[in-house]
Amino acid sequence: MSPSAVETHNLTRRFGAVTAVDALTLRIEQGEVFGLLGPNGSGKTTTIRMLCGLLEPSQGSALVAGIDVAVAPEQVKQRIGYMAQKVGLYEDLTVGENLDFYAGIYGFRRATARLAEVVAFLELAERLGQLAGQLSGGWKQRLALACALIHRPALLFLDEPTAGVDPAARRRFWHTIHDLAHAGTTVLVTTHYMDEAEQCARLAMMSRGHLIALGTPAEVAAQVGGRTLEDAFVILQERDER
């Protein structure tokens, strides 16, 4: 059996008196598109940030690509790609300059074959000279994804990647995600769109920092009597908050 892409055990993060993530135990398999579903403040972003080494866990452990994040965060960073909720592009640099920069940071020389590959994969060729700040939401998101993919990460963490993106661009984005997963990349994506949650192989629902449901979309829906995923989400969340 191949090792899991992500394995957390009682992962907990407190900010002062507030517990943002509460004893989360998860296992994400390699090449899986895994959805993290939950309302704002349920601990999705905090979870992703802990898995990326951006926040230290208060308790518990997380193995990413088989490496303990708390012990060797820099080794984890070599193997992951990350897209934050607020896309971290340099808006005063062109598309090409943003790509060059991240390629350099990940140790690639400029204008390598890899850069051309990523540009082709995300169809950015015609926009290389445009300032990133002048791109639409959908194109910004593609550029950010390109920057996160340059070093061929085994895992991709996407924190609400489609917020503020029009429906056509969202559909296109999900095609890309599935392409990546077919090629063996593990994708962890947070969302609160139900149609996006349906596209995940498995998903975890979170409420107030802890897990309220885990499984394939069909399994989660079945937990509350086979209704839609949205119904399941509302019912489970209400049950949790009671």
Partner 1 sequence: MMPRFWPMFRKEFIQMRRDHLTFAMMIGIPVIQLLVFGYAIQTDVRNLPTVVLDESRTPESRDIIQAFQNTGNFRIVAHVDGRPAVDRAIARGEAQAAIVVPYEYPRDLVRGRTATLQIIVDASDPLASQSAIAAAVAVAHARDLLILTRAAGRANLPLEARVRPRYNPGLRSPNYIVPGLVGVILTMTMVLITAMAIVRERERGTLEQLIVTPITKTELMLGKITPYVGVGLLQMTAVLILGRFVFDVPLTGNILLLYGVTLIFIIASLAFGLFVSTLVRTQQQAMQASFGFMLPNILLSGFMFPRQAMPEVAQWLGLMVPLTYFLKVVRGILLKGVGLEALWREVLILAGFAVVLIVASVRRFHKTLD
- Using CB under 8 A as the criterion, which residues of the chain lie in contact with partner 1 when the complex forms? 49, 52-56, 73-74, 77-78, 80, 82, 84, 86-93, 97, 100-107, 147
Shortest approach of partner 1 to residue 233 CB, angstroms?
Answer: 28
Q: Name which of 89 and 181 has its Cβ closer to partner 1.
A: 89
> What DSSP letter does each residue of the chain carry, written as one string?
-PPPSEEEEEEEEEETTEEEEEEEEEEE-TT-EEEEE--TTSSHHHHHHHHTTSS--SEEEEEETTEETTT-HHHHHHHEEEE-SS----TTSBHHHHHHHHHHHTTPPTT-HHHHHHHHHTT-GGGTTSBGGGS-HHHHHHHHHHHHHTT--SEEEEESTTTT--HHHHHHHHHHHHHHHHTT-EEEEEE--HHHHHTSSEEEEEETTEEEEEE-HHHHHHHTTS--HHHHHHHHHHHHH-
Which residues, at least 6 apart from 103, have a Cβ–Cβ distance to it below 8 Å? 109, 110, 112, 114, 115, 150
Q: Name which of 156 and 213 has its Cβ closer to partner 1.
A: 156
Shortest approach of partner 1 to residue 157 CB, angstroms?
Answer: 8
Q: Name which of 61 and 199 has its Cβ closer to partner 1.
A: 61
The CB density around residue 159, as the number of other CB atoms within 10 Å, is: 22
Shortest approach of partner 1 to residue 151 CB, angstroms?
Answer: 8
Shortest approach of partner 1 to residue 21 CB, angstroms?
Answer: 14
Shortest approach of partner 1 to residue 234 CB, angstroms?
Answer: 31
Q: Name which of 109 and 227 has its Cβ closer to partner 1.
A: 109
Shortest approach of partner 1 to residue 133 CB, angstroms?
Answer: 10
Q: Name which of 162 and 237 has its Cβ closer to partner 1.
A: 162
Q: Name which of 60 and 217 has its Cβ closer to partner 1.
A: 60
Shortest approach of partner 1 to residue 211 CB, angstroms?
Answer: 23
Rounded-to-integer distance, Cα 159 and Cα 204, Å: 14
Q: Name which of 157 and 173 has its Cβ closer to partner 1.
A: 157
